Chain A
Amino acid sequence: MEIGDVVRIETDKGVFEGLLLPSIDENVITLKLKNGYNIGILKENIKNVRVIKKGEKPKYELPPLNIEKKHKKTVSILSTGGTVASKVDYSTGAVHPSFTADDLIRAVPEIADIANIEGRAILNILSENMKPKYWIKIAEEIKKEAKRADGIVITHGTDTMNYTAAALSFMVNADFPIILTGAQRSSDRPSSDAYLNLLSSVIAAKENIKGVFVVMHETSDDKYCLLHRGVKVRKCHSSRRDAFLSINSLPIAKIDPFSKNIIYLQEVERSEGSKKVEINTKLEEKVALIKVYPGMDGEIIRYYVDKGYKGIVLEGTGLGHAPEYVFDDIKYAIDNDVVVIMTTQTINGRVNMNVYSNGRKLLNLGVIGCEDMLPEVAYVKLMYLLANYSLEDVKKLINKNMVGEINYRSDFKAYGGNYGL
């Protein structure tokens, strides 16, 4: 008896006929009945099992689409294992990740009306399992793909998309747009946000702009998407489709996927159309991100120092504070040449360590305030700087804007996701 077989199971409570599915529990047999419903039968209740028909392996090979490459621009879509174009096996309910340009066009035929589409899978992992070495892999693939693409879309799980966006922002210097996008509702649902996000991403990837961006829904409506700067964006809700907000910054642009219009809300660097790309993938992985909280044990800081860490990002309270009872531990880190930098756990707003004596004392210890930079971005930036610059330069560069990660001006409207658009 194998998965996919049609079986007949006799139990004390009647006879069941259906398709054998993978089981969820070793004591249970799962069947798909003729009426479409799945049921589980406890093995202890089974009296007799008979295979009625051997199952056929479902085929996932489909004939090529032969879409004419009629557009001036080509957009490449690289998948990292997100669910934008995965296929569901309706008999078992399992999701089969498969990814070619044809698959994408079958899922969202409208993208072929916007640009020539190329596509391939470069990774197949859930975004919570992302690691710095995968960021490097993605950067390398972007470089390869640049040969045939005018813009690149990367589909990515939403959980850690902002970390990847930040890493690519520092590692990749490209003269074309790199767009990260994903879905909060998986694409096997009729209501998935993947469709508009992907459509809007392809529209953005055709623009004459350069840099790393994130494209996701603007609101809970299926109306517009926003183009966010990769180093100024954050997932701010665990499930809503408008989870991604630009923080301490307005979004770059608003995209109407139906009319295909883009309205720019901010200045953005323009591409020269050279398709040039340089990458520098050196990263110092021994960097920690530590959240400060009442009652925290400063030993955690010493632990990292003793483990040979080179940098620590503190996510402080308010304007950038930490309890006095961890000052000695922070001093221990700095005395051991660990770079300690300060961001704020309020996420919104700027660090200013001159206002209260606590902040001044931290400054005196050698902690560096990071302006309005997001903690996750500061973490990635410190990894990048430590691998590529001298200790002195790292300390100078960490709170200076390099790729748009720091705004020196705080825009009144850039708060709460209500940008007054």
Chain B
Amino acid sequence: MDYNEIGLKVGLEIHQQLNTERKLFCHCPTELTNEVKGEVERILRATLSELGEIDRAALLEMRKGKKFIYQYNNSSCLVELDEEPPHMPSEEALKIALQIAMLLNMKTVDVAYVMRKIVIDGSNPSGFQRTIFLAYDGYVETEDGKVRIESLCLEEDAARKVEERGDKVVYNLDRLGIPLVEISTAPDINSPKMARETAKRIGEILRMCKVKRGIGTIRQDINISIKDGARVEIKGVSELYLIEKVVEYEVLRQLNLLKIRDELKERNAEVIEEIYDVTDIFKNCNSKIIKRALKDGKVKAIVLKKFGGLVGKEIQPGRRLGTEFADRAKVIAGVSGIIHTDELPKYGITEEDVKRLREFLKVDEDDAIVLVADKEEKANKALQAVIERAKEALIGVPEETRKANEDGTTSYLRPLPGKARMYPETDIPPIFIKDIEVERPELPEEKIERFKREYMLSDELAKKMVFSYYVDLFEELCKRFKNIKPTLIAKTLEESLKEIKREGYNIENIKKQHLYSLFDALSSGKLAKEGIIEVLKGFCEMPDKDIDEILEIKGLKGLSREEVEKIVEEIINENINIIKEKKDKALGYLMGRCMAKLRGKADGKMVNEILKEKIRNIL
């Protein structure tokens, strides 16, 4: 596809959690926990606008009396509960954010203000999210060209939704307040591949700074538009490989919607804005769906003139225009789905049923009918939403916020948000950025070069190590255990751990102190490098045991030099004839015999040394 021709414009918004000691506005740790120490129930109200008025829609929402329950624990305090003013922002978080800005070639503001962004869905007990605009006007280089970075904001992550309990929404406060950088690119990206490259490059740069790693710590939103299409915001693409697909599929969706629009125009199609009660038609229908709904509900219908065949038209793999209708009905009215004539007969609804329906509504074969079977009020609300969406199909692509599905397709989430209501956080004084001293971190390629130079790693291993979760630990270990080759440390961290994970070992049990004790044992000769894998497996199985216990259990207890000498001597004595026969050439053979007995218990180098010496003594 020629993406230039269709005028593809893509912008990314990347959210990355920072790995700080404390949260952005309090002194709680940034660790998630499932623990619940107690719950607090709250309500949120829309506040007065500049004109002293409350938004009517917000007032309506408020009158519904939605209540929120907040679970607190050791990762949250009075600040998260909105019972104590925010503390001064974490200096560590500010520094990391400024380092990221530096690597993204951004300019920083002179004086930064903490702002409150109003959010009353309950994800913030205060009713707002605190955010700081720190840097602007940067860029990253990708294989496909330069992409401008428009802004970098440092903000607090929201609370984690746990469940809905009737009309109450339950949130855990552990995640609230974890520092997050929000990086927004300009819409400079013009192909799916470039979108992926840009996200990858920004991701690599982020990993040069102190950021959190693992599931849920980085989230990508993608803004996509094509010529004649519309800006669509796609939320929550967490995997890199999905980005390309999401962009491809969204382009496909917009192109197909435009084709459908042209076809509808040509046909002179029309949306009839009336909801019909067709319950009687389905009184004796054998469809399970209909039967279940009719217990306390109705079957309602709308007519889409000249939509026949197009409602069932595929616009993304496995998704039709009808799916778009269904999405709206589900989100807005909470129904389980819709039924349209393009897919019938199906669900136990027969050709005969359809025929009677068409006769009753006096519509032709080239018209489409959409049905909803549910409680009357819900069914009406659902069909009203379908009417709105069908009318948009006549215009083209609706602007909206969508969420990414696992296969790269997307589904409707909500309308595009309006302009955020923001006002200053009066509890925190402005921040003078020049007073914060920050060191520039290395760029990925600089770090790779240094790893090759300083630690003599191969190109491949250096690249792996630089982006590894263990990169900082690697450097720490190299510094501490100078007599161990960095390559061995890197391979242990990057390869051995992955190897045993593949075998099904739970490597999450392996903590920093385990690795320290492992390399300590190697360094002092207590453990031979051949035993590394077994020790790691041991720690996975028994994380509470110390290294000596593991060596004992695994039978890896390294032998002392004297003990090794004794065993070597025994082997020499058993094979004395061979030595006499083969002279120097016997070394290789005997080494094999020795190692068969000593593998994992003694270092091969030491065995070799002892063996050589003893043979020399004999000859």
Contacts and interface: CB of A to CB of B under 8 A. Distances in A.
Interface stretch (A40-48, A165-173, A200-208, A321-329): A40-48
B137 A239 contact: no
Nearest to B132: A37
User: What secondary structure prevails in chain B residues at the interface with A?
Assistant: loop
Interface in A208-223: 219-223
A120 interface: no
A187 interface: yes
B549 interface: no
A185 interface: yes
B112 A40 contact: yes
A39 B110 contact: yes
Given A88-B423, A191-B126, A38 B115 contact: yes
B133 interface: yes
Interface in B78-137: 78, 81-85, 107, 109-113, 115, 117-118, 120, 125-128, 131, 133, 136-137
Interface string A336-352: 00000000000000000
What class of interface size applies to chain A in its complex with B? 35 or more
Interface stretch (B4-12, B42-50, B371-379, B577-585): B42-50
B424 A93 contact: yes
B50 A89 contact: yes
Interface stretch (A28-36, A402-410, A411-419): A28-36
B421 A62 contact: no
B318 interface: no
Interface in B239-285: none
Contacts of A219: 40
A107 B81 CA distance: 23
A192 interface: yes
A15 B45 CA distance: 38
Contacts of A220: 40, 81, 83
Contact of A33 (B45, B82, B133, B420): B133
Which of A25, A60, A62, A190: most chain B Cβ within 10 A?
A: A190
A191 B46 CA distance: 9
Contacts of B41: 221-223
B126 A189 contact: yes
A9 to B, nearest CB: 11
Contacts of B434: 42
Interface in A161-202: 184-185, 187-192, 195-196
Interface stretch (B19-27, B52-60, B223-231, B347-355): B52-60
B419 A93 contact: no
Interface string B353-393: 00000000000000000000000000000000000000000
Nearest to B83: A240
B110 A38 contact: no
Contacts of B136: 14
B124 to A, nearest CB: 8
Contacts of B111: 24-25, 28, 30, 39-42
Which of A30, A90, A98, A103: most chain B Cβ within 10 A?
A: A90
A41 B113 CA distance: 11
Contact of A88 (B40, B48, B78, B430): B48
A93 B78 CA distance: 25
A401 interface: no
A190 B127 contact: yes
A91 B47 contact: no
A195 B45 contact: yes
Contacts, number: 141
Given A39-B109, A109-B59, A223-B41, A189 B50 contact: no
A38 B424 contact: yes
Interface string B428-439: 011010100000
A220 to B, nearest CB: 5
A410 to B, nearest CB: 30
A58 interface: yes
Interface in A9-28: 13-14, 24-25, 28
Contacts of B131: 37
Contact of B110 (A40, A60, A185): A40
A178 to B, nearest CB: 26
Contacts of A235: none
B421 A90 contact: yes
Given A37-B115, A40-B112, A90-B49, A189 B127 contact: yes
A310 interface: no
A297 to B, nearest CB: 35
A87 interface: yes
Interface in A304-318: none
B432 to A, nearest CB: 8
B47 A187 contact: yes
A107 to B, nearest CB: 6
Contacts of B78: 239-240
Interface string A259-277: 0000000000000000000
Given A189-B128, A190-B128, A240-B78, A14 B50 contact: no
A379 to B, nearest CB: 28
A106 interface: yes
A241 B40 CA distance: 12
B286 interface: no
Which of B120, B127, B434: most chain A Cβ within 10 A?
A: B127
Contacts of A33: 133
A5 to B, nearest CB: 17
Nearest to B184: A35
B30 interface: no
Contact of A37 (B45, B421, B422): B422
Nearest to A45: B110
Interface in B421-455: 421-424, 426, 429-430, 432, 434
Nearest to B115: A37
Contact of B430 (A40, A60, A192, A221): A40
A239 B85 contact: yes
A98 B419 CA distance: 27
A258 B49 CA distance: 24
Which of B83, B112, B432: most chain A Cβ within 10 A?
A: B83
Interface in B56-72: 59, 65, 67
A35 B133 contact: yes
B45 to A, nearest CB: 5
Interface string B121-161: 00001111001010011000000000000010100000000
A36 B47 contact: no
Contacts of B81: 220
Contact of B151 (A35, A45, A192, A239): A35
A248 B516 CA distance: 58
B215 interface: no
A93 B426 contact: yes
Given A93-B423, A106-B53, A220-B81, A188 B113 contact: no
A35 B421 CA distance: 10
Contact of B112 (A39, A45, A106, A195): A39
Interface of A: 13-14, 24-25, 28, 30, 33, 35-42, 45, 58-60, 62, 87-91, 93, 98, 103, 106-107, 109, 184-185, 187-192, 195-196, 219-223, 239-241, 258
6 contacts: A14-B107, A35-B151, A109-B59, A185-B82, A190-B45, A240-B84
A-B pairs, top 4 by smallest CB distance, nearest first, are: A40-B111, A190-B127, A37-B133, A36-B422
